[in-house]
Chains A and B, each alone.
Chain A
Amino acid sequence: MTAVPVAAGPPVPTAARRSSDSFWHAAWYRYRQNRLALVAGVVAVFILLVGILAPWIAPHSDTATDLSSVLAGASWHHWLGTDQIGRDTLTRAIWGDRTSMTVAIGAPVVGLVIGLPLGILAGWWGGVFDWVTLRLYELFQMVPTILAALLFIIVFGVNVWKLALFIGITLWVGFSRLARAQYLALRERDFVHAARALGAPSWRITLVHILPNAVGPIIVFFVQQIPYVIFTAAGFSFLGLGIQDPLADWGKMINDSVTYLPIDALLVLVPIGCIGLACLSFSFLGDGLRDALDPTSR
């Protein structure tokens, strides 16, 4: 018999190394290659930070009215001018960022919290539970999401958190489907069979083996919902069914200022620009994340 052959593998350093080439490392490396995604990421983070730090960085109080300078254009005192009752536009934009981001992040979180467990359980338990879940998908698909959210608003009233909740509820199906599909696909992989053969119980397989591998597409999906939520929330506010006074919100700003368009275009352009920038940056961020986390899906 021959002795156990030693495999001469790739050169290995003698010092102990921690996760040198983990999934996240490799993903970050790939992400860095994508200039657009990097820029988008920076902008997105910036937008989030503005929202978080709003109370400290806004130059004026968002409710203070200065009736002496109404519909003023840009000036040193008011960098982006004032609105029809003298509120500083920049301040309103910053506070609007805060409300928009709260909804934009909060809604997908709601969708994730409802959808992910349901999807995983549907895949895991299968049988009747899965059948019911699939019928639920179909049921909710029949309902136009925007109208559903509007209905909630009419019935339950609205504030920032409710808005996030109602829009979030309409997102659960997407998360659930994705989670279920990921679960079913990953369950058939050889390394899951191997874990079962080793005697791992189902809950451990789900938590330790399947979920970590499903995380990538779920993160991407999460980020991809953000532009949709921003736009939808802004739309609601524009229609007057979203955020109410005295809170600032980009959509509401557009609504409020559209009548003054001939006089002060800046008043309309600022919120539109904010919405556009936010949507685009999160959209490209989502694309960049998809390419980084799941390069095979390209």
Chain B
Amino acid sequence: MTGPVAQSTNGPQAGGDRGPLLEVHDLVVHYHIRGPGKVVRSHETVHAVDGVSFSLGSHQTLGLVGESGCGKSTTGRTVLYLERPTSGTVRFEGRDLSSLRAGALKDLRRHMQIVFQDPVGALNPRHTVGQLIAEPLVLHNLVPRRQRRRRVEELLELVGLPADAVYRFPHEFSGGQCQRIGIARSLAVEPALVVLDEPVSALDVSVQAQILALLTDLQTRLGLSYLFIAHDLAVVGQMSDRVAVMYLGKIVELADRDPLYARPHHPYTQALFAAIPVPDPVASREKARVVVAGEVPSSLAPPPGCRFHTRCPLAQERCRSEEPLLRTVGDGHDVACHFAEEAVRADPFGTLVELRA
């Protein structure tokens, strides 16, 4: 691996002299929901994201992986300021998003886009494909009216759709094609960053592969950066330069892709790897695979200390009381675990032996 990917530290030098494209520091997103009670309303807080920090350089892909409730989607939306964080800073191209006025934020939206999980739902069912893709061009006045049609057709071609799709409606297309439409739309503004929120989870395997190939190709051609959010480690592993594993609102491990996949340190990361069904009948029967017990605790009341301690086979007293912070265990490899080295040695889920080259 060469190029910007080689700068794998967490610091601000990745990606260029102006600093990283995206810098997130201590992001916190809490939702207040009203608890039961008629007269005296109790308030409960959903700790969706609880102190997340990372950076992303240009032409890079950061994979954000975790199960439901870990906060990865919320992080993705908050990075774009589609939702305001409770606290923490998001810097895009060096500018602090919280300090921007509505107009400046709208302008900045040109540079950062999002592709959603539900390809069909992300498209207004009453608009034609042509209208859908042209909308960003209209909003930001990027292209004079006469040339809009041509630009829409260019974008359609870029994502591999026929030009006469402009007259048709989303429901006439398959899931994979709708996702291509969504991608074309987000590229219309020529963004620098695209947040991909589970872009292929709703698609068939063969279509999934096409979309991932398309995304990779577009990244090279257009010099995009991706924040790739998914729950599937295998998919994330194909697309990312760096990977962050999230659990219950926090990043538990953050490293370059290959070192993480070769040697995951955090017990939760190991559990995730162990849980993935391997498409090889011999290998999946050979290994002594351990399935992690228990369920994810509610984000209304995250466990004290290390949030994974309720399910961790290596949990000790210290884990129950003291929350582990991200610490460096290797070159650009950070883990939030008091006993990360122990986890690698003990390999409680049988993960480390089985990863195939």
Direct interface between A and B, CB < 8 A: yes
Instruction: Indicate if B326 sits at the interface (CB-CB under 8 A).
Output: no
Contact, CB under 8 Å: B164 / A196: no
Instruction: Indicate if B214 sits at the interface (CB-CB under 8 A).
Output: yes
Contact mask for chain B residues 59-78; partner A; CB cutoff 8 A; 1 contact, 0 none? 00000000000000000010
For the complex, give the distance between the alpha carbons of A108 and B329 in Å: 70
Instruction: Indicate if A154 sits at the interface (CB-CB under 8 A).
Output: no
For the complex, give the distance between the alpha carbons of A13 and B82 in Å: 39
Please name all residues of chain B whose beta carbon is closer than 8 Å to the beta carbon of A19 when the two chains form the complex: 128, 167, 169
Looking at chain A, what size class is its interface with the partner chain?
Answer: 35 or more
Instruction: Indicate if B136 sits at the interface (CB-CB under 8 A).
Output: yes
Please name all residues of chain A whose beta carbon is closer than 8 Å to the beta carbon of B284 when the two chains form the complex: none
Nearest A residue (CB) for B214: A4
For the complex, give the distance between the alpha carbons of A209 and B125 in Å: 9
Nearest B residue (CB) for A23: B126
Nearest B residue (CB) for A10: B172
Please name all residues of chain A whose beta carbon is closer than 8 Å to the beta carbon of B185 when the two chains form the complex: 194, 198
Contact, CB under 8 Å: B189 / A194: no
Contact, CB under 8 Å: A20 / B161: no
Complex A-B: 25 CB contacts under 8 Å: A1-B213, A1-B216, A2-B217, A5-B210, A5-B213, A7-B177, A10-B172, A14-B164, A19-B167, A19-B169, A21-B169, A189-B121, A191-B122, A193-B114, A193-B116, A193-B122, A194-B114, A195-B124, A196-B82, A198-B113, A198-B185, A198-B189, A199-B110, A200-B135, A212-B124
Contact, CB under 8 Å: A199 / B139: yes
For the complex, give the distance between the alpha carbons of A193 and B177 in Å: 20
Please name all residues of chain B whose beta carbon is closer than 8 Å to the beta carbon of A16 when the two chains form the complex: 164, 167
For the complex, give the distance between the alpha carbons of A193 and B73 in Å: 13
Contact, CB under 8 Å: B161 / A190: no
Nearest A residue (CB) for B166: A16
Nearest B residue (CB) for A191: B124
For the complex, give the distance between the alpha carbons of A204 and B168 in Å: 22
| Interface pairs A-B: 8 shortest CB-CB | A199-B109, A190-B121, A190-B122, A191-B124, A199-B106, A6-B160, A198-B136, A5-B210
For the complex, give the distance between the alpha carbons of A19 and B130 in Å: 11
For the complex, give the distance between the alpha carbons of A9 and B180 in Å: 12
Which residue of A191, A197, A199, A204 is within 8 Å of B123 (Cβ)? A191
Please name all residues of chain B whose beta carbon is closer than 8 Å to the beta carbon of A213 when the two chains form the complex: 124-126
For the complex, give the distance between the alpha carbons of A13 and B164 in Å: 8
Instruction: Indicate if A77 sits at the interface (CB-CB under 8 A).
Output: no
Please name all residues of chain A whose beta carbon is closer than 8 Å to the beta carbon of B220 when the two chains form the complex: 1
Contact, CB under 8 Å: B114 / A7: no
Task: For chain B, residues 45 to 63, give those with C-beta under 8 angstroms from any C-beta of chain A.
Answer: none
Nearest A residue (CB) for B114: A197
Contact, CB under 8 Å: A194 / B122: yes
Please name all residues of chain A whose beta carbon is closer than 8 Å to the beta carbon of B135 when the two chains form the complex: 195, 198, 200
Interface residues of B (CB under 8 A from A): 77, 80, 82, 106-107, 109-110, 113-114, 116, 118, 121-126, 128, 135-136, 139-140, 158-162, 164-165, 167-169, 171-174, 176-177, 180, 182, 185-186, 189, 210, 213-214, 216-218, 220
Nearest B residue (CB) for A2: B213
Instruction: Indicate if A75 sits at the interface (CB-CB under 8 A).
Output: no
Contact, CB under 8 Å: A12 / B164: yes
Q: A17-B167, A193-B122, A194-B122 are in contact. List 13 more A-B contacts (CB 8 A).
A: A4-B217, A5-B160, A7-B176, A9-B162, A9-B165, A10-B174, A14-B164, A21-B171, A21-B172, A190-B118, A193-B77, A193-B114, A199-B189
Contact, CB under 8 Å: B168 / A191: no
Task: For chain A, residues 65 to 121, give those with C-beta under 8 angstroms from any C-beta of chain B.
Answer: none
Instruction: Indicate if A147 sits at the interface (CB-CB under 8 A).
Output: no
With A198-B135, A199-B136 as contacts: A4 and B109 at CB distance below 8 Å: no
Contact, CB under 8 Å: A7 / B106: no
For the complex, give the distance between the alpha carbons of A14 and B167 in Å: 12
Contact, CB under 8 Å: A197 / B160: no
Which residue of A9, A193, A209 is within 8 Å of B82 (Cβ)? A193
Residue picked from B118, B158, B162, B185, most chain A C-beta under 10 Å = B162
Instruction: Indicate if A3 sits at the interface (CB-CB under 8 A).
Output: yes
For the complex, give the distance between the alpha carbons of A14 and B284 in Å: 50
Contact, CB under 8 Å: A7 / B168: no
With A1-B220, A190-B116 as contacts: A18 and B167 at CB distance below 8 Å: yes
For the complex, give the distance between the alpha carbons of A13 and B213 in Å: 27
B220 to chain A, nearest CB (A): 7
B125 to chain A, nearest CB (A): 7
B223 to chain A, nearest CB (A): 14
B199 to chain A, nearest CB (A): 12
For the complex, give the distance between the alpha carbons of A10 and B172 in Å: 8
